Structure 1
């Protein structure tokens, strides 16, 4: 769409935000996957970042924004009406991003035409005159809230609301574990485990000390657990399946494993290779579909961080709360079972198999781990010990790891995650 020269400055960013929301809510695309296409008309990086920020904040607050809109209309607007989208964008700016109200509304009115423009202006103005506010903690979408309350209890669902209220801190994984104290001091952060530093959010990650030199990479503390639980490699061979973008590959290579990293996506493998080059670490990379590919020989260890609903990373990617449906969770769980059973054939007798998902859905975690034990009598669970985990995280009674909202809350929380470790009987 060609920009109208009479449009207020900043309208292009709001138009890009509208495209992003449309891609997520109507087409079901991940926010990050839609970003390049939605912001293609924006030349400036800060304009692209602002469009992303508007869309992300709107998704964090969507049920509450819709409740405000519905409170100010005689009859509900259709869920996918452009007028509703424009109001969501204007309200999220004015009520959550501290954009002046006049700028928030002026820059969204060009996104709607005719009667809806008058409606948008009227509803927004009525809510501003009423001094409308958003709740301190965002409301989770009803299906998500019901599912998480049922699976994990009310306290966990409430903790999820607290986590999504603001973008999380940033976790860094260190190439040299022994330099943890040094890097925590240099970066002004805290450490929750050896080889980890947590810092406040920063707009310039690549400008921080140690980035260019490859001394660390960004990886949530929960996402670091699968590689941690494999220990030191001592030159042994490991298959890292579904490896890109490579945080676990880097940790494993730094721990002395001889890593073969497999992923279906060639572009994501390019990013992994760039991270290997930056850090000076090495791993063999293969672009292939693990449901069709097979190694020439079994490995000492296999790590499968399986494709999943990604509901555990909702605090950084709030779009998952609105895209993921029950049916998709069930279909993904079936795929994960098949992948895990296939990967189990590639472990040497006496070797280790680790299964992980960044999901808060037990069908994708505990149920898949149970299915392996039931189907493969040559495997046994290798319980995780307390000493192997960061303070504040503990294994469940069977020795698996489930990271839930509310854990590490005083330190800024962690992504939702599930990890199970198995030993193939020799």
Structure 2
């Protein structure tokens, strides 16, 4: 007999398994995991369940362990199913009976009685979660003194940030869309907005872009027709910013699929850029550039509030691999700058090796980021670099974690 809602829960279980066992992102796993789920609402539900179970995994496991005489193995299927059931009740306001009806069938042929008993015990105790999720031990060790403050920003998924094509109309768009603005060219809306139905989408007045992600392109200033290279550009938010700021943009990326999205966004916003699909490690430009923006490939741990899977699948090996790639890209980028040209380096990572550890290697003259270039509440580091994390601007909805640095070629 078909059980309504069961395919979505099975898909959520498959998503978590892909993250924890195979190290895939939820996005990478979604195609196969959601193949049998019908309807956008159920697909969104599966993602939400998996996301909240991963976001609160350490706390959910503590609850589960408090209700078992013998600790379930970390990779035991009943543990994963209980995490899904508890995440629904404690985070998504699913009734307990619905969590049971769609959770226990996932243990067909397995210890349903055990899972039912643990879940019922926790419901009788009125189990709850803390205000901020606990981070995995390995993450706490890496982020050290920053971990507690970052965790505060992970309690809920982020709001929706928009970058405006014309910053002069910021107040107008904030009022029209019912949002707030944290700096010119930015509007923040509540979660759950259907993007394509919002005013201004079809005429290309804005695009979706986290506030912190919009900062690197801002640090290059106005283009006034000068040439800029956007390295690793897709899916294109920074390319759109640079084009709107008057730069003659060359947008380079290795991924055809991601560049197709960039081209769609250029068409929607009626902005122009030369799009190049190639590997930046083998490409040679025919000229030098007045500005280069390298938003480098990274572990993306700074996006943990929207992609909590990174908390569980990133470790020393991935950080080291990304660091090696970033160093090679930085070395090539510095050679393509004109004298007087400006290089901005950015990563959406919270790892020291990908941020400060790369910045100290750059043999260019520092061009410190200034406080008046930032939204209120963010402050440059002593070195003139910028590091943001999800715990910053928490009262206004937070920001993604980024490291950004800037130099000039003398």
Partner of 1:83: 78
Deviation for aligned residue 1:292: 1.4
Deviation for aligned residue 1:184: 0.9
Aligned with 1:262 (options 228, 252, 266): 252
Distance in 1 separating the partners of 2:134 and 2:303 = 17
1:216 aligns with 2:206: yes
Deviation for aligned residue 1:118: 2.2
Aligned with 1:382 (options 354, 364, 367): 367
Partner of 1:252: 242
1:403 aligns with 2:388: yes
Whether the 8 Å CA contact 1:303–1:354 is kept in 2: the answer is yes
Alignment of 1:168-247 (within 5 A): 168-247=158-237
* Cα-to-partner distance string for 1:58-98 (whole Å, 9 max, x where unaligned): 01110011111112222222222221111111111112111
Distance in 1 separating the partners of 2:67 and 2:393 = 39
Alignment of 1:55-94 (within 5 A): 55-94=50-89
Distance in 2 separating the partners of 1:115 and 1:386 = 58
Alignment of 1:34-113 (within 5 A): 34-113=29-108
Alignment of 1:276-287 (within 5 A): 276-287=266-277
Mean CA deviation greater in 103-112 or 126-135: 126-135
1:367 aligns with 2:357: yes
TM-score (ref. length: structure 2): 0.97
Whether the 8 Å CA contact 2:305–2:390 is kept in 1: the answer is no
Aligned with 1:288 (options 278, 281, 301): 278
Please give the secondary structure, in 2, of the residue aligned with 1:92.
Answer: helix
Please give the secondary structure, in 2, of the residue aligned with 1:303.
Answer: strand
1:424 aligns with 2:409: yes
Whether the 8 Å CA contact 2:154–2:390 is kept in 1: the answer is no
Partner of 1:318: 308
Distance in 2 separating the partners of 1:399 and 1:203 = 36
Structure 1: unaligned runs, 5 residues or longer: 1-5, 374-378
Please give the secondary structure, in 1, of the residue aligned with 2:17.
Answer: helix
Deviation for aligned residue 1:120: 1.5
Partner of 1:8: 3
Distance in 1 separating the partners of 2:391 and 2:125 = 34
Mean CA deviation greater in 238-247 or 387-396: 387-396
Deviation for aligned residue 1:231: 0.5
* Cα-to-partner distance string for 1:110-167 (whole Å, 9 max, x where unaligned): 2112242222222212222222222222111111122212xxx2xx322222211111
Mean CA deviation greater in 50-59 or 329-338: 329-338
Whether the 8 Å CA contact 1:163–1:315 is kept in 2: the answer is yes
Distance in 1 separating the partners of 2:17 and 2:131 = 26
Aligned with 1:117 (options 112, 115, 118): 112
Aligned with 1:412 (options 397, 400, 403): 397
Partner of 1:345: 335
Partner of 1:3: none
Deviation for aligned residue 1:413: 1.4
Distance in 2 separating the partners of 1:73 and 1:49 = 32
Whether the 8 Å CA contact 1:188–1:199 is kept in 2: the answer is yes
